[in-house]
Structure 1
Amino acid sequence: MGKTGALNALKAANLQHMLVQCGLNKSGTKLDMYHRLRLAAKHYEPVPATARVLSIDMGIRNLAFSLLSPAAPSNPQSEQAGNRKKSKSGSLVKEPLLATIHKWRRLSLSPVEANAVEGDTKEDFSPGAMAQMAVTLVQDVLLPLRPTHVLIERQRFRTAGGSSILEWTVRVNTLEAMIYAIFTTLRSLKLWDGKLIPITPMRVGSYLVEGSVEEAAPVVEAKMVPKVMKLKQQKVSLLASWIEAETKLEFPLETQAKEMAHDFLGNWNKAVSRKNERLEKVKATAKPEAGEPRKGTKGANEATYAAIRKLDDLSDSLLQGVAWLQWQENIGGLIQTEAWITASPEPSEEIEKSSDETEKQPKLRKERARKSRTKQSDSLTPLKKGRGRPRRPTQVDIVTNEKIANLI
């Protein structure tokens, strides 16, 4: 099948599904998505078993990170035969990849002013103080982990289209830029040989949560749950179910990561249990009048949200790393099953030309019709009236002119 035929055979919905499975942007025209997948395949490098993936969830008082490595399947034959499923496009996509978790921590970075009086804990967020804080973080905490891939959560200046930019958001973005600068400098000086990879949080959520929400542990939900908090709850619940199942994530015994996983699961189970108990008490009370919420439901939700906020950063850092490992595995699976994604040479200009011509045809027809009407109007003898302004041609004039043009 030729390149043009391969593009025409693909549906936009299928391309979008592949892009989501690979952690790529799914917006744009069909041709844009086609090129995006081919570009990802061109730059694809399999993640070695010895890779040490450092996943960072940005923050100052709530920075979290996890150190992962891809875990080899325990049974290669069963993994090849039964651990793949068909996507909407018919291509084989690997099931969630197992990962080994070596470190999993949450830090609070609060730069204290150097000239502060003893007992005064005034924080200093000047560029110099934040630069020293970033250097200490990278040099004393992150570099000793010997990461080969550093995934950094991409920060946004605005949330939900807000017009204002919060001061705390600027601080986190400043720290993010400094971490990039430090790692880039270390790499240019040959002191660190790794890769810096920005990760968009929305793509992690849309891939793991929306695609795997049925795997999450059952949670009693109120009818009115804020969308953002609901997404956070789903992510924490999904990760808790993975830890409890002990099949998708591997935590080596007697390690800090194992202790953190135990605490994470315990705190989540306590939060769910408390919420369910409160909701049971609410159900036991008298039924409220129509249109009024049951008293106590709001308190149950707020208690759960407080627990989620404490676990959200930890879950984000770990899910981000697991999602990236799966994206790389999925790109490799598409390369093996979809011939067009690596077909040489590169996508030819014929595809772009045919696509552009198809998109331009309606515009060309409109332009030709407009020019035809203008030409017909100019060919008519203007009949001046009043102050010499030409009168507008009537429908009779246009029809007559068309007949004359046809005779010619």
Structure 2
Amino acid sequence: MSSKLLASLKLAQLKHAAFLTGLPSAGTKADIIAVLESNIPTRTPIATGSRIVSVDMGIRNLAYCVLDVPKAPLPHANPPKPSPLKVLEWKRIDLLHPSAIESQKPPTSSDTQVKPSTKKPAPISPSAFTPSHLSHTALSLSRTLLSHSPTTILIERQRFRSGGGPAIQEWTVRVNMLEAMLWACLATLRETSSLERKGAGARAGPGQGEFPAVFEVLPARVAGFWVGEPGVSLRLTAETFISGRVEPAASASAPSGRKRVQKKDKVAVVRSWLDENKGKGKGNGNGNGNGNGNGNSHPDISLAFSGEAAKVAKAFAAPNGRSSSSRGTIEEGSVEEESEERMGKRDDLADCLLQGVAWTRWEENRDLLAQLLRS
């Protein structure tokens, strides 16, 4: 990578590049150059046929999706028509009562309204949150994620505090403990699988036994990427660096005025993708999505849902049964929900999908940036 070329760019251009590649965009010019130099050259480009498992952490409300990354469009295509990201799985599970959510079926099209669930969950023993029990939960979760044969696993990075408050909530401690155990389980399974392959003399190729790469993802960075300033393109282009032009507010990693991204904003992003599909008259769960809930349009984002994921997508896009709800708070996160639908909490499902799609875009932008800096 050309350090001279990076040094020739303006601070706003460097911030723009860091923002579009999912890297920290705060700091001085030297700070951002160091971040780009340490991440872009050493990264492994996203491979054709790769599979991503994106996890939104939780205990009672853990959500994950499985995405198959399509083949990159041909460079001579004018304009290039991207293939859709294939969403193979999109679900939310209760790790303490896995069957309670996994057995739920999304509402059918015959339902005119989505009624809130009044059934109380079964009581949970306090011992379920002890290290001895959570360790088994983490191991089971690890095996579930690996059963999808991913090449990449994305794990939402948990915070210790919410809203800048001084107190650390009990649920936060529990989820953080599970997050740490999940990482430990995956690291152990990676090591043991490597030893087994080495002992057997096996030489696995891509997607044929190699352990997936595991990355942590900051939720604030994902939210700032999708719910940002109107008119900001989320695809890196060579013209930005050649002409010295920086798109309006592209250097920001969060909406203007330091507005806090709310759950409903992220749900609106996913809903806009699904609504775009509905607007094109496709009722089979396959289609394109654009928009980011703030008036931005991203017509090159394309999603194709299959199987149960298509049913979840249809239920996700269905209108709420009521406009608002304040029937108490959810234990995990202690945040009042906009509504409680039969299909469950939409924000968890939205978070894991936004995280997975953002990662694919960051990887594409990193590939292009690396090519530009090497040329």
Q: TM-score range by the shorter chain?
A: 0.5 to 0.7
The 1:303–1:176 alpha-carbon spacing in structure 2 relative to 1, beyond 3 Å, is closer
- Distance, in Å, in 2 between the alignment partners of 1:96 and 1:174 is 39
Tell me, yes or no, if the aligned pair for 2:61 and 2:92 is still in contact at 8 Å: yes
Partner of 1:389: none
What does the per-residue CA deviation read over 1:331-378, in whole Å, with 9 as the maximum and x for residues that have no partner?
1111222348xxxxxxxxxxxxxxxxxxxxxxxxxxxxxxxxxxxxxx
The 1:171–1:146 alpha-carbon spacing in structure 2 relative to 1, beyond 3 Å, is same
TM-aligned CA deviation for residue 313 of structure 1: 0.3
3-state DSSP class of the match of 1:329?
A: helix
The 1:250–1:200 alpha-carbon spacing in structure 2 relative to 1, beyond 3 Å, is same
The 1:305–1:41 alpha-carbon spacing in structure 2 relative to 1, beyond 3 Å, is same
- Distance, in Å, in 2 between the alignment partners of 1:243 and 1:328 is 23
Partner of 1:23: 22
1:311 maps to 2:315: no
- The one-letter amino acid of 1:82's match is P
Partner of 1:106: 92
Tell me, yes or no, if the aligned pair for 1:49 and 1:69 is still in contact at 8 Å: no
1:149 maps to 2:149: no
3-state DSSP class of the match of 2:211?
A: coil
The 1:137–1:339 alpha-carbon spacing in structure 2 relative to 1, beyond 3 Å, is closer
1:234 maps to 2:274: no
Partner of 2:298: none
3-state DSSP class of the match of 2:87?
A: strand
What does the per-residue CA deviation read over 1:221-270, in whole Å, with 9 as the maximum and x for residues that have no partner?
xxxxxx65x532121111111123221343344x111111111111xx23
- Distance, in Å, in 1 between the alignment partners of 2:26 and 2:336 is 37
- Distance, in Å, in 1 between the alignment partners of 2:163 and 2:336 is 24
- Distance, in Å, in 1 between the alignment partners of 2:351 and 2:311 is 18
- Distance, in Å, in 2 between the alignment partners of 1:166 and 1:304 is 18
Tell me, yes or no, if the aligned pair for 1:152 and 1:198 is still in contact at 8 Å: yes
TM-aligned CA deviation for residue 17 of structure 1: 1.0
Partner of 1:336: 371
- Distance, in Å, in 2 between the alignment partners of 1:50 and 1:60 is 31
* Structure whose residues are more often helix by fraction: 1
Partner of 2:132: 128
Partner of 1:250: 303
TM-aligned CA deviation for residue 214 of structure 1: 9.2
Aligned with 1:188 (options 187, 191, 203): 191
Partner of 1:178: 181
- Distance, in Å, in 2 between the alignment partners of 1:162 and 1:51 is 40
3-state DSSP class of the match of 1:270?
A: coil
| 1:47-62 equivalent positions in 2, closer than 5 A | 47-62=46-61
Tell me, yes or no, if the aligned pair for 1:97 and 1:322 is still in contact at 8 Å: no
Aligned with 2:79 (options 60, 79, 82): 82
Percent identity of paired positions between Structure 1 and Structure 2: 34
- The one-letter amino acid of 1:270's match is N
TM-aligned CA deviation for residue 98 of structure 1: 4.0
Partner of 1:166: 169
What does the per-residue CA deviation read over 1:64-109, in whole Å, with 9 as the maximum and x for residues that have no partner?
0001121236x6367x5435xxxxxxxxxxx998411111110112
3-state DSSP class of the match of 2:193?
A: coil
- Distance, in Å, in 1 between the alignment partners of 2:351 and 2:82 is 16
Tell me, yes or no, if the aligned pair for 1:62 and 1:313 is still in contact at 8 Å: yes
Number of corresponding residues: 280
TM-aligned CA deviation for residue 152 of structure 1: 0.2
The 1:310–1:212 alpha-carbon spacing in structure 2 relative to 1, beyond 3 Å, is farther
- Distance, in Å, in 1 between the alignment partners of 2:230 and 2:155 is 23
Tell me, yes or no, if the aligned pair for 1:111 and 1:133 is still in contact at 8 Å: no
- Distance, in Å, in 2 between the alignment partners of 1:35 and 1:121 is 48
- The one-letter amino acid of 2:339's match is A
3-state DSSP class of the match of 1:105?
A: strand
Tell me, yes or no, if the aligned pair for 1:19 and 1:26 is still in contact at 8 Å: yes
Query: Which consecutive residues of structure 1, in runs of 5 or more, have no partner in the other structure?
Result: 84-94, 113-118, 216-226, 279-296, 341-408
1:198 maps to 2:201: no
- Distance, in Å, in 1 between the alignment partners of 2:163 and 2:82 is 30
The 1:109–1:19 alpha-carbon spacing in structure 2 relative to 1, beyond 3 Å, is same
3-state DSSP class of the match of 1:72?
A: coil
Aligned with 1:270 (options 315, 320, 323): 320
